[in-house]
């Protein structure tokens, strides 16, 4: 093997790794902007006019905002070569995800008991459907984060699972509240699918194959798509469970 070929062999993985870090960091920031913008446009005005919101809603806003900060920070740390800090922050991030599971569940039950059926224009036929969507959302999020933590010593699987935990479950609720997307399922779907498929498409372009972690995450992500949730919410089993939860 010539010196040139050896140098090329060594540099390609490093170049691709740097490109990967830029991709994940860029999409992480974009996802955070969409989520914060969407919820900010709905939550902000409520705060300004002094609406009587349940305390759990404020806790939910604080905890989920903190997750977005951590999510972006973890990607930027890797981008800048600070994997030591990334690893030290990891256990705290997973602990925060556990808190999000509890807070997200409590918030979902609270808003559904208040009669909410979903964002304006994309409401479910009954509150039970909205409840199921939110419960599945936090459950899929927590499952992907747990899987990402389990495979933390496999960087390729780890970063994809953590990436999908946020993009596949939190972008949808944020996008559905964006001023230009409210009441427009087509626009919401484009935004959500764009983020969900960004990683797999990037893999296809750069590696000619999709990492198995994405395939597993997408299989779980299907559960939080509104058309699927609507079908599940219409089953007698869920109607019985929802009635018990919401009583």
pLDDT tens-digit series, residues 82-116: 999 999 999 999 999 999 999 999 999 999 999 88
Q: 67 pLDDT exceeds 70?
A: yes
Amino acid 247: pLDDT:
81
Q: 214 pLDDT exceeds 60?
A: yes
Residue spans of the domains in the chain: they are 15-246
What is d(CA 158, CA 153) in angstroms, rounded to the nearest whole number?
7
Q: Rounded mean pLDDT of 133-146?
A: 96
Least confident of 9-23, 41-55, 134-148, 185-199: 9-23
Amino acid 16: pLDDT:
62
What is d(CA 100, CA 208) in angstroms, rounded to the nearest whole number?
35
**Do 170 and 31 meet the contact criterion of CB atoms below 8 Å apart?**
yes
Amino acid 5: pLDDT:
36
Amino acid 47: pLDDT:
79
What is d(CA 60, CA 62) in angstroms, rounded to the nearest whole number?
6
**Do 156 and 166 meet the contact criterion of CB atoms below 8 Å apart?**
no
Amino acid 15: pLDDT:
52
pTM over 0.85: yes
Residue 32 zone, left/alpha/beta (φ > 0; ψ -120 to 50; rest): alpha
């Amino acid at each position: 093997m010539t010196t040139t070929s050896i140098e090329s062999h060594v540099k390609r993985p490093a170049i691709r790794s740097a490109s990967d870090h830029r991709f994940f960091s860029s999409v992480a920031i974009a996802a955070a902007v969409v989520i914060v913008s969407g919820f900010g446009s709905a939550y902000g005005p409520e705060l300004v006019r002094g609406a009587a919101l349940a305390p759990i809603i404020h806790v939910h806003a604080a905890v989920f905002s903190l997750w977005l900060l951590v999510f972006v920070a973890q990607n930027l740390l890797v981008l800048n070569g600070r994997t030591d800090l990334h690893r030290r922050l990891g256990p705290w991030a997973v602990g925060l995800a556990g808190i999000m599971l509890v807070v997200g569940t409590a918030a979902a039950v609270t808003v559904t008991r208040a009669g909410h059926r979903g964002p304006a224009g994309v409401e479910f036929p009954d509150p039970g459907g909205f409840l199921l969507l939110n419960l599945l959302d936090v459950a899929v999020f927590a499952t992907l984060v747990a899987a990402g933590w389990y495979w933390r010593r496999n960087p390729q699987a780890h970063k994809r699972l953590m990436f999908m935990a946020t993009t596949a479950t939190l972008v949808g609720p944020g996008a559905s509240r964006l001023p230009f997307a409210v009441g427009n399922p087509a626009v919401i779907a484009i935004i959500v699918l764009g983020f969900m498929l960004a990683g797999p498409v990037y893999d296809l372009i750069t590696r000619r194959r999709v990492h198995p972690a994405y395939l597993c995450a997408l299989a779980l992500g299907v559960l939080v798509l509104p058309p699927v949730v609507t079908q599940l919410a219409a089953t007698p089993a869920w109607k019985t469970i929802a009635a018990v939860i919401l009583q």
